[in-house]
Amino acid sequence: MLTFPSPRELARRVPQLLLGIAAIGVGVPMVLEARLGVSPWDVLHQGLAHQTGISFGTVVVLVGLVVLTLWVPLGQRPGIGTVVNALSLGFIMDALLDVLPRPHELALRWLLLLGGLAVCALGTGLYIGAGLGPGPRDGLMTSIAAKGHPIWAVRTVLELSALGVGWALGGDVGAGTVLFALGIGPLGHFFLVRLHLGPETTRLEAGIAAE
């Protein structure tokens, strides 16, 4: 069952949600095109794309839908942001991957990686700060953590699992993977605390960016 805030709250928060998801949709392809390693979940997405021939963005959508089914026994309820994230993010990524340049110079690749990380962090702060529901993967973390487990431990187990399976399937693991894993939390939190959490943003959702 979807949760809906008041129309006034929607008018204030939906633009922030959409901007945040669009930013993540731009940032992830930047990291991918840097070819220096991607985030743990994107290692899984990339590995599945390599093995199946399905586009990266389509894999992101399909994995998100599978993860959403895991919410049911955990009692997590989707919000508007959950649906928009699950159904649109992958297609934004595919569109950007078709037009982004793929630099060969190492310095430019590092700039692309760092820029992509910053844009992803901004997007994370925007969409979580909108308080309209977490994305599928973030919601899985928060719903497990709500059962009494530390969110840092839940995040570590889930991301290491995604990383291990993705690496076995041929996903890119490199310096960028480590940088993303260590940097996205602090950077996302930096933006989140400046973007005024909506009243429906839970303490656990905020903790995603803080960990």
Spell out the domain ranges in the chain. 8-210
Write the CB contacts of 30 (distance below 8 Å, at least 6 apart in sequence): 96, 100, 112, 113, 115, 116, 119
pTM for this one?
0.84
The three-class DSSP label of residue 53 is coil
Per-residue pLDDT of the chain (211 residues), as tens digits, is 555 667 777 888 899 999 999 999 999 999 999 999 999 999 999 999 999 999 999 999 999 999 999 998 888 888 889 999 999 999 999 999 999 999 999 999 999 999 999 999 899 888 888 888 888 988 888 888 888 888 778 888 888 999 999 999 999 999 999 888 888 878 877 887 777 545 545 444 544 444 4
**E-strand stretches of 8-48:** none
